[in-house]
Amino acid sequence: MYTVQQLIDSGLFALLNKGDETEREITVPFCCDLLSVAMGRAPAGCAWVTVMGNMNTLAVASLTDAACVIMAEGCTLDETASAKARVQGITVLKTDLPIFEAALAVHEKLSGGGLC
């Protein structure tokens, strides 16, 4: 089991907002920037890697029960989304890595690999 808190503590990503459920298990990384697709396909407990930093992203993260959101490629949340993340208790992380590499780093942590 690998938790959101362990991902925060790993130092792989910068913390934008520490949510309420940091002891929650991360089940799988999930990559998607099309919110309608993410809404239908993001698995519960995923670490969702995206470049979409708006309030709708947080709504989809909440709806799909994502464990956390990782903003990739140097993207960040806009002010409204940042405030919404705090109110909803959603953990949001940030990285300059491309989406695939960020998801791969999460995958390596989940599988106990030593590459990251």
The confidence score (pLDDT) of residue 116 equals 43
Half-sphere exposure for 92 (CA within 13 Å, toward CB): 30
- Dist CA 110 CA 25 (whole Å): 10
pTM: 0.95
**Cβ neighbours around 98 below 10 Å, total:** 15
* Euclidean distance between CA atoms 55 and 98, whole angstroms: 21
pLDDT at 37: 97
pLDDT per position as a tens digit, 51-71: 999 999 999 999 999 999 999
